Amino acid sequence: MDKYRIYRHPEGISLNGKEFILDDKGEVRLFNSRRLALFWLQKESGHTIEAKHPDELWDNYAIGIEKYK
């Protein structure tokens, strides 16, 4: 089963690499689908994130959801 992770580039600069959402153990938090990652982000981020589809995150918030390898 594929897993997905949430990331952003620090300071919005892609040359900075990726910064991932971590769980309580300090490991990258993984989700079973892109949509579940989006729902988690909307509920737990502490910010108002208005997106109906994960693809809207990048254009509006510079946040990505990618497949974990």
Q: Nearest Cα to 34, choosing from 13, 10, 62, 65?
A: 65
Would you give the DSSP letter of residue 28? B
CA angle 36, 38, 58 (to 5 degrees): 145
Q: Look at residue 28 in the predicted model and tell me its pLDDT.
A: 97
Domain ranges of the chain: 3-68
Q: What does DSSP say about strands 63-68 and 3-8: parallel, antiparallel, or unpaired? A: antiparallel
Question: Environment class of residue 25 by beta-carbon count within 10 Å: exposed (0-12), middle (13-18) or buried (19+)?
Answer: exposed
Residue by residue, pLDDT tens for the chain (69 residues) are 899 999 999 887 777 889 999 999 999 999 999 999 999 998 987 778 888 888 888 888 889 999 998
